[in-house]
Amino acid sequence: MAAKKATKYVYHFGKKTDGNGKMKALLGGKGANLAEMTRIGLPVPPGCTITTEVCAYYYDHKKTYPKVLKAQMEEGVRRMERQLGKKFGDRKNPLLLSVRSGARESMPGMMDTILNLGLNDETVNALAESSGNVRFAWDSYRRFIQMYGDVVMGVQKLPSEDEEPFEIIIEKIKKKLLGNAHAEDTDLSAEDLQVLVAEFKKLVKSRTGKAFPNNPWDQLRGAVGAVFSSWMNDRAIVYRRKYNIPAEWGTAVNVQSMVFGNSGESSGSGVAFTRDPATGENVFWGEFMMNAQGEDVVAGVRTPDPVARLKKVLPSAHKELLRICRVLEKHFRDVQDFEFTIEEEKVFMLQTRNGKRTGLAAVRIACEMVKERLISWKDAVKRIPAEDLDQLLAPVFDRAAVKKVSAIAKGLPAGPGAATGRVYFNADRAEAAKTKGEEVLLVR
């Protein structure tokens, strides 16, 4: 009698893929679309996806894993090593990884991400030597300690703190070494970043009683567990309830080889839409930062630039992104919201999903896609939920009144229409004030 074949818990993408865009229930939305982008020839860094079945097993078996998962994960890493000519934990040419969540339905910002995994006191020097960029290596290391310390080791803001503890240390170091607590992160030298890494490690040890882990495989296991655990964090639970996402769906975990937007002035990261999600205009729309990783763009630490500026600073990358926009819309037949990284002028795709849009944009996009013969009128009608039409009736400021006043600050709105209230810079305090009946505006 033939032995029972082990369940496949890890799917690969890179030069070849064994998944596709129809496998969202198993691979999550992000993993399925990474596989699909690979399948249609877009530039995707190689990686693997741990299925949602493992998440279900994790919670059904007291946060443990199927026995075969370890070997399948190791094979996933070995495939990346072979494809890239790097080795995980190597002292000469280390493979570094990102670990990201990926639910069946998009849950932006609700679960956790870890970048630059695999760095330690030895591999950081190897990265510096192999890249020829010491500052970039130490910048990546401090980012990794900050993310891993927060997400995996629980080094987070205390009730008495207005800012995250790692950010407090960054400001202190900037004030001490640069004379300005609000200087840009990019102003920190390689030597400054080494000081920052040492201070971050002290913080981790003082808050957790444990040293920061040096073994890359221990780091990977900790990161995967943290992403599965984030499926049940407070943010994710509230989001699922609001959007009727069943808890039993679980999340997948995407383990992907790193590409570096923080490797110099010909590199950067961004988030973009194939059309303007506010108005529906058929223009390439989004934000990017030079010499930055993706989390910088969404974290609000620095002010990003509009992607249109890429045409001036990195014209070849801008041209490639326009080509990718056309490929994405033709293939998915909908507006795409995607993440990209530019490493030394080469574009890499890290995610794509159907883009959220305002009610106004939904109507315009649906009508124009019919004219462009991307979708039928029947599809167009289905794509405009009734509740989106309510946004067209949201209150707005009187234009004449707006012209009579001066703005004290400008930013990007998180929703349609106009709103009034007391400004809060801390989400927890804003939520507490809201429960007391106060009108609030959260500014990040």
State the total domains in the chain: 3
What type of residue is 410? Answer: K
Return mean pLDDT, the chain.
Answer: 92
Following CA atoms 28, 140, 264, 81 in sequence, which dihedral angle do they give, to the nearest 10 degrees?
Answer: -60
Percentage with pLDDT > 70 across the chain: 98
Last residue of a domain, one of 226, 257, 288: 257
Determine which of 174-188, 197-211, 387-401, 411-425 has the lowest per-residue pLDDT on average. 387-401
Of 120, 113, 132, 114, the residue nearest 89 (C-alpha): 120
Residues 242 and 361 both lie in one domain: no
Rg (alpha carbons) of the chain, rounded to whole number = 22
Confidence at residue 185, expressed as pLDDT on a 0 to 100 scale = 83
Half-sphere exposure (Cβ direction) of 86: Cα atoms closer than 13 Å = 21
pLDDT at residue 2 greater than cutoff 60: no
Residue 173 falls inside a structural domain = no
Residue 329 falls inside a structural domain = yes
Residues 103 and 219 both lie in one domain: yes
- The residues near 366 (Cβ < 8 Å, ≥ 6 apart) are 375, 379, 380, 381, 383, 384
Calculate mean pLDDT across residues 326-355.
Answer: 97
Confidence at residue 159, expressed as pLDDT on a 0 to 100 scale = 80
Confidence band, pLDDT 50/70/90 cuts, at residue 161: confident
Of 312, 290, 311, 313, the residue nearest 302 (C-alpha): 290
Q: What is the CATH number of the domain that holds 224?
A: 3.30.1490.20
Structure tokens at 209: 């009683």
pLDDT at residue 407 greater than cutoff 80: yes
- The residues near 194 (Cβ < 8 Å, ≥ 6 apart) are 138
Indicate the pTM of the whole model: 0.86
Determine the structural domain holding residue 332 and report its residue range: 268-388
pLDDT at residue 9 greater than cutoff 70: yes
Residue 73 falls inside a structural domain = yes
Calculate mean pLDDT across residues 236-260.
Answer: 94
Question: Of residues 33 and 434, which shows the higher confidence score?
Answer: 33
Confidence at residue 287, expressed as pLDDT on a 0 to 100 scale = 95
What type of residue is 268? Answer: G
Sheet with 97-103, strands from edge to edge, namely: 10-13, 47-50, 251-257, 97-103, 113-117
Calculate mean pLDDT across residues 420-425.
Answer: 89
Determine which of 105-114, 259-268, 312-321 has the lowest per-residue pLDDT on average. 105-114
DSSP strand pairing (94-95 vs 87-88): parallel
> How many Cβ atoms are within 10 Å of 391's Cβ, its own excluded?
16
Residues 299 and 436 both lie in one domain: no
Render pLDDT for 61-103 as a digit per residue (tens, 0 to 9): 999 999 999 999 999 999 999 999 999 999 999 999 999 999 9
